Chain A
Amino acid sequence: MSIRRPQIPRLLLQNVSCMRNAQQILRHVNVSLHDGGALVLTGTNGSGKSTFLRMLAGFSKPSAGEILWNGHDITQSGIFQQYKLQLNWISLKDAIKERFTVLDNVQWFELLENKIGKAQPALELMGLGRLVKEKSRMLSMGQRKRLQLARLLAIDRPIWLLDEPSVALDDEGVRLLEYIIAEHRKKGGIVIVATHLPIDIEDAMILRLPPRFPRKMTLIDMLDRADIS
């Protein structure tokens, strides 16, 4: 009888902590994600949901612990260059060029991936097909969010990091978001979502981040306290 080796998680966070401006934002986070998995981050304002995603995206580094992709530490430069090509990123900043058309805003980033041809179908799926030649400054907030999601579909990378993806979307838009997430996971993709608003994601792990810890005392704080006493 052969013993099967346990499958290595696609993404593994081991005792990850993150500090920012002398404040402990995240502490001892442990998460493992396999292909097709989903993680929903919840918590109060300032609990570190966006920081968690930005750390996974490589915009900041953990102050302690490890983030492993396929068993390799993503903070190593060579590993990160391969890892970042797996990531699709949506944040509250929409990266939309006002003077570009709706189609241009997707195609520009598609071209940076040496790809072409998925922009139009993605826009049509997101309900923006009739607006492809319009200037993007004419879009509403909800339409801008749909444009971001269309870009997500056009670029099509395995790991989606989504920071508040349902903000400004109407009910139909939220259902569409749930649909594309489900389809992405069927293909083995991973989704990590930070959200305040309810999104129906089947079998998702939920990680509730605690409120922010008080920042550690600095020398100035101690001196101020001494003066008060």
Chain B
Amino acid sequence: MRRLFLELYYKLIFSSTPITSFSLFLLYIVVTPLMLGFEKDFLCHFHLGLIWISLLFSFLSAPFFRNEKEDGTLELYYLSTYCLPKILLLQLVGHWVIQISCVFCGFPMLQLLYQFGRSGMDWLNILLGSLVLTLLCGIHSCLALGITSSSGWNSLQNLTTLPTLLPLTVFCTSIETEWFHVLLLIGYFFLFVSLFPILVSISLQD
């Protein structure tokens, strides 16, 4: 039963995770040095900031749970034995695993252009920060579920998401020089984890 669950879970997550996000990420990290003229010192010093901008733009394009809303799956999840927030969190984690795997597939490009990976903190930065980013996008997707038009979906989600991503961006891009930002990042993560069940419940009401 567990094996069957994992098989179906993998099928579900893999089929619904937009691979275009990874393409966007690759595009951003390649184009940015071209725009900056391959300033090596600048890229090495500010690589986390540039990488995080690329991650933000690529993750923001992922409309989490939209398909589930449109095809009626959310309603069945709501009535199932498991509580809805747990199911959606499980999906978010699955999305995150696939997304971050794709990002790390681009490691040679990151190393070549940005000197990424000189310290273990870079990896921790990407891992933890992208998890928070995925959770934030998932939360704002839940809040946007009530919007019926696709254009409204995109504009509202971005408008509400970007302000909450600002602390995340600051923490992640300055984590090398401000080590206590790791703690702030962890605290920020748990803040939104605690809010997640409440927001999910609100978003499902007619």
Total number of A residues with any Cβ neighbor in B under 8 Å:
30
Task: Mark the stretch among B8-16, B52-60, B121-129 that contacts chain A.
Answer: B8-16
A116 touches B1 (CB 8 A): yes
Please state if A94 and B11 are interface contacts (CB–CB under 8 Å). no
Whether A111 and B1, one on each chain, are in contact in the complex, defined by CB atoms closer than 8 angstroms, is yes
Q: Are B15 and A95 in contact (CB under 8 A)?
A: no
Closest 10 CB pairs of A and B: A93-B72, A60-B206, A99-B15, A95-B72, A112-B80, A95-B73, A108-B8, A111-B5, A95-B76, A84-B79
Cα of A96 to Cα of B72 in the assembled complex, Å = 8
Report B-chain residues with C-beta under 8 Å of the C-beta of A95.
Answer: 71-73, 75-76
- Shortest distance from the beta carbon of A63 to any chain B beta carbon, whole Å: 12
In the complex, how many angstroms separate the beta carbon of B129 from the nearest chain A beta carbon?
A: 30
| A69 cross-chain contacts in B, Cβ below 8 A | none
| A–B pairs, 20, beta carbons within 8 Å | A20-B206, A54-B206, A59-B75, A59-B78, A60-B206, A61-B205, A85-B81, A89-B79, A91-B72, A93-B71, A93-B75, A95-B71, A95-B72, A95-B75, A96-B71, A107-B8, A108-B8, A109-B80, A112-B82, A116-B4
Interface residues of A, Cβ cutoff 8 Å to B:
20, 54, 57-61, 84-85, 87, 89, 91-100, 104, 107-109, 111-114, 116
B189 within 8 A of A: no
The reply to whether A111 and B8 form a contact with Cβ atoms under 8 Å apart is: yes
Contacts of B12 in A (CB 8 A): 97, 100, 108
Name the one of A20, A61, A94 contacting B72, with C-beta atoms under 8 angstroms: A94
Q: Which residues of A contact B75 (CB under 8 A)?
A: 57, 59, 89, 91, 93, 95
Q: Which residues of B contact A104 (CB under 8 A)?
A: 8, 11
Chain B residues within 8 Å of chain A by Cβ, number = 23
Docked Cα-Cα span, A229 to B81, in Å, equals: 57
CB atoms of B77 and A112 under 8 A apart: yes
Across-interface contacts of B76 in A (CB, < 8 A)? 89, 95, 109
B202 / chain A contacts, CB cutoff of 8 Å: none
- CB neighbours of B4 from chain A (8 A): 107, 111, 116
Cα(A108)–Cα(B78), bound, Å: 14
What residues on B are CB-neighbors of A97 within 8 Å? 12, 15, 71, 73
B206's partner among A59, A92, A109 (CB-CB below 8 A) is A59
Q: Which of A57, A100, A107 contacts B79 (CB 8 A)?
A: A57
B30 contacts A by Cβ under 8 Å? no
**What is the CA–CA distance of A58 and B75 in the complex, to the nearest angstrom?**
10
CB distance from B142 to the nearest CB of A (A): 15
Least distance between A19 CB and chain B CB atoms (Å): 11
Known: A20-B206, A59-B75, A97-B71. 16 other contacts (CB 8 A): A59-B204, A59-B205, A84-B78, A85-B79, A91-B72, A93-B71, A93-B72, A95-B75, A95-B76, A97-B15, A99-B11, A107-B8, A108-B8, A111-B1, A112-B81, A116-B4
Residues of B with C-beta under 8 A to A113 = 80-81
Q: In the complex the two chains form, is B205's CB within 8 Å of A60's CB?
A: yes
Q: Specify the chain B residue showing the minimal Cβ separation from A112.
A: B80
Bound-complex Cα distance A59 to B70 (A) = 15
Chain B residue nearest to A108 (CB atoms) is B8
Interface centre among B8, B11, B73, B80 (most CB of A within 10 A): B8
Provide the bound-state CA to CA distance between A103 and B188, in Å: 41
B8's closest neighbor in chain A, by CB?
A108
Q: Report the separation of the CA atoms of residues A154 and B70 in the bound assembly, to the nearest whole angstrom.
A: 23
